[in-house]
Each structure stands twice: as C-alpha cells, then as structure tokens.
C-alpha cells in the first residue's frame, strides 16, 4: 500500500493535469471550425429565408383598422387673470394652490379720487361798482378719498403664480395670477399622413392609462394645429429645438426627426380630455387607439405584398412571358393586422407576389415611416 501511494497516485495526478493542459491548449490555439473552412459565426447570426417569387391570391375578408399613437398627459392651459384698473391693493383673499369658484373674490384695489375743481371766483365790487380786493382763499387740508373695487374670478380653477402682495401698486392690465382649470388632456403628435387620414371624420379614440385596468374613452377628441410662426410642432417638442440645434462636435445643424420634410411630425396633434376621476400626472406616457373603421367581405392582401402610402399603392405580379415581377398600381383602403384592403386594381383570386421585390426582411413590411397603419 505504501508503494501505491508513493508511485501510483502521483502518476494519476500527472495524467489528469496533462489532460487539462491539452484541453486548454486546444481551446486557445484550435477553435471550433478552424481548418475546416467553416465560418465560426455562421450559426450565430440568424438569417431570413423566404421564396422571393411566392404568390398569393387576393382574398375576400374582414378587416378593422386601428391607429396606435404614443401620447403624453399634459395639464390644460391656465388663464391669466389681470387687473381691470390701476390702484393700490388693500386686500388679497387667495393664495397659491387655492381652488376658487366662479365669482369668488380675489383681491381689492383702492383708487384715489381726484377732488372736483373749484368754481371760478366772482370778482368782488363795492356799492359804487368799484372792484374790491377779495381776501385770499383759505387753504384746506383735505384727506384723500378712495373708491374701492373688487376683482372676482371669471372661472372656477386653481390659483397659480400669484404675483402681487398687499399694498402693492398695480397698473391696469397687470397680471395678477394664473387660474388653472385643474384638468388634464392626453396629447399625441401626428404625422402629416396620420392627420390626413383623420380629417373629415369624427375621432373615436380610447386611451390606456397605467392607473386604469380598462381602456378609457377619450372625451372631446379633437385635432389641433399650432401656428408654424410660433415654432411649435404639434406640442411635441417645439420648432426652436429643431431649428436651432447643432452638433457640439462639428457645429453643423442637426436634423431633428419629425421637424419637417416628408413623413415627419406635422403642426398637428390629437388632444382629448382626461376624465376628472382618472388618476394622472403631467408627463405620464399613454397609449391612444383611434378606430379608423372596419369592413367586411372586401378584397384583402398581405401587408408584405404592398408598398405605398395613403390611398396610392402598388403590388407586384409575375409577367407570364418573362417570369419577372411587374409593378401594378392599386388603390389602398383600411390597414389591419397583417392585411391591407384593396379598393381598386385587384379582384378576388388575382395572384400577386407575397413579398415586395428587393425587401431584405419581408416581415418589416413596405409601409413608409410615419404612416398610420
């Protein structure tokens, strides 16, 4: 037993260490696939394999179209409250954060009244008609008189940015405070294509709030356009940034996505009121879904087969003589989940290419950036 421990065990350990060393050397100097002509990363990057000339028939089907928008909760604009006359403030009945009702007293102003001018003096004469020197008038030290005016709230709301204090002198039309309605709206910027698709139709939209388990119907949905001269961009960032931003490294102007040109952000936004009982805060991200309509029994084709925007589009058919793809103009309707309605240019049963030629990944579709489907 003593000889086994002295000679056999050390040999076993040496063999084990030799095997480990050989394995490490193989991993370091002979990676998998080396010397075989194989690309070690060939199996790492997945590819897309599809039949470029696969055809599908146009089919009758049902379709519903929903526009999905990313929106943000914004506080509704405050209304400035201004002084209706100049004077000195003698009382203030509100403070920042107060909720006041329509007709509530805000502050009191006193206006000094100017004394009425004295009647012109009648020259004094004696009994013979000769002028008599009249005594000098006695100066009277009169106290100033004031008239008091009360400024009342024209609307119900919350007091914000109170800018005056008691005994301040204020000028007419000077701003006193901001009166916030205390309500919120969901605002979603629109691309020009989205705005065009929502024109001339009532907007039926729902919002999904993180604080509500169920979708909430948007109240008073409307599309609003900002004045381009103000530099706005549909309330989604403002034109001042897009027009004046520069690259800090090169000094060249930066092109901000959605700041104009093509399918960027337009000067329009979808705005809808948040119900009073909903729990929201300004800046909260919200998903808005706009129902664009539905249709049954209409001609439909896969989204991957169509290119174009709005109502103008195209599909591709195989030329019987050459076997090459040929572009065919079509009229597009509603866009649904993976399918597009064809309102003109195709009939049921017409065969078209399932994938638009030249697309690397047909799963990405061919609709241009900024479209509404």
**81 & 178 share domain:** yes
Give me the phi and psi of 175, to 5 degrees please: -75, 130
Domain annotation covers residue 211: no
The sign of the torsion formed by the CA atoms of 302, 304, 310, 312 equals negative
List the pLDDT tens digit at each of the 373 positions of the chain.
666 677 777 787 888 888 888 888 888 777 655 555 555 444 444 555 667 788 999 999 999 888 899 999 999 999 999 999 999 999 999 999 999 999 999 999 999 988 766 556 566 666 676 776 666 555 555 788 999 999 999 999 999 999 999 999 999 999 999 999 999 999 999 988 888 878 777 788 899 988 888 898 887 888 888 765 555 444 443 333 333 444 444 444 444 333 344 445 567 999 999 988 888 999 999 999 998 888 999 999 999 999 887 788 999 999 888 888 999 999 998 888 889 999 999 999 999 999 998 776 555 544 443 343 4
Residues 229 and 251 in one domain: yes
**Quick check: 127 and 139 in contact, CB under 8 A?**
no
**Does one domain contain both 84 and 174?**
yes
Q: Are residues 159 and 238 located together in one domain of the fold?
A: no
Residue 125 domain flag: no
35 in a structural domain: no
Quick one: which of 203, 207, 226 has its CA closest to 216?
207
The answer to whether residues 103 and 83 belong to one domain is: yes
Query: 156, 182, 208 — which closes off a domain?
Result: 182
Out of 252, 284, 316, a domain closes at 284
Q: Which domain holds residue 172?
A: 77-113+145-182
Same domain for 196 and 100, yes or no, is no
Q: Could you tell me the two tokens for 87?
A: 């004077």
| Whether 255 and 174 share a structural domain | no
Structure tokens that stand for 104 in this block: 């509530």
Counted domains in the chain: 2
Distance, in Å, from the CA atom of 218 to the CA atom of 186, rounded to the nearest integer, reads 9
* Distance (Å) of CA 350 to CA 255, 311, 340: 43, 20, 15
Question: Does residue 103 lie within any of the structural domains?
Answer: yes
The reply to whether 60 falls in a domain is: no
- Residues 280, 266, single domain; the answer is yes
Whether 163 maps to a domain, the answer reads: yes
Q: Which of 246, 265, 284 is the last residue of a domain?
A: 284
For residue 160, give the CATH number of its domain. 2.40.50.100
Q: Quick check: is 350 in a domain?
A: no
297 lies in some domain: no
């Amino acid at each position: 037993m003593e000889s086994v421990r002295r000679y056999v065990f050390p040999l076993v350990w040496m063999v084990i260490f030799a095997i480990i060393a050989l394995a490490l050397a193989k991993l370091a100097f002979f990676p998998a696939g080396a010397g075989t002509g194989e690309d070690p990363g060939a199996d790492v990057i997945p590819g897309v394999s599809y039949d470029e000339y696969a055809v599908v028939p146009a089919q009758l089907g049902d379709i519903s179209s929903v526009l999905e928008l990313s929106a943000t909760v914004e506080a509704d604009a405050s209304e400035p409250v201004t002084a209706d006359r100049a004077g000195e403030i003698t009382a203030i009945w509100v403070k920042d954060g107060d909720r006041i009702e329509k007709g509530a007293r805000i502050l009191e102003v006193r206006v000094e009244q100017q004394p009425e001018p004295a009647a012109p003096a009648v020259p004094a004469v004696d009994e013979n008609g000769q002028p008599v020197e009249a005594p000098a008038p006695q100066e009277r030290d009169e106290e100033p008189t004031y008239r008091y005016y009360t400024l009342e709230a024209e609307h119900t709301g919350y007091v914000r940015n109170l800018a005056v204090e008691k005994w301040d002198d204020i000028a007419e039309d000077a701003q006193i405070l901001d009166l916030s309605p205390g309500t919120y709206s969901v605002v979603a910027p629109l691309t020009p294509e989205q705005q065009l698709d929502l024109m001339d139709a009532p907007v039926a939209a729902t919002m999904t709030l993180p604080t509500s388990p169920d979708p909430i119907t948007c109240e008073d949905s409307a599309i609003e356009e900002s004045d381009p001269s103000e530099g706005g961009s549909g309330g989604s960032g403002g034109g001042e940034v897009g027009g004046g931003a520069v690259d800090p490294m090169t000094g060249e102007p930066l092109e901000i996505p959605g700041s104009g040109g093509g399918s960027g952000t337009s000067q329009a936004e979808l705005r809808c009121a948040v119900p009073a009982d909903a729990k929201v805060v300004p800046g909260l991200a919200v998903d808005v879904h706009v129902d664009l309509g539905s249709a049954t029994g209409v001609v439909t084709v896969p989204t991957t087969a169509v290119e174009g925007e709005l109502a103008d589009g195209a599909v591709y058919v195989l030329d019987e003589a050459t076997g090459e793809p040929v572009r065919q103009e079509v009229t597009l309707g509603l866009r649904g989940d993976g399918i597009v309605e064809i309102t003109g240019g195709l009939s049921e049963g017409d065969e078209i290419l399932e994938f638009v030629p030249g697309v690397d990944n047909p799963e990405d579709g061919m609709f241009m950036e900024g479209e509404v489907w």
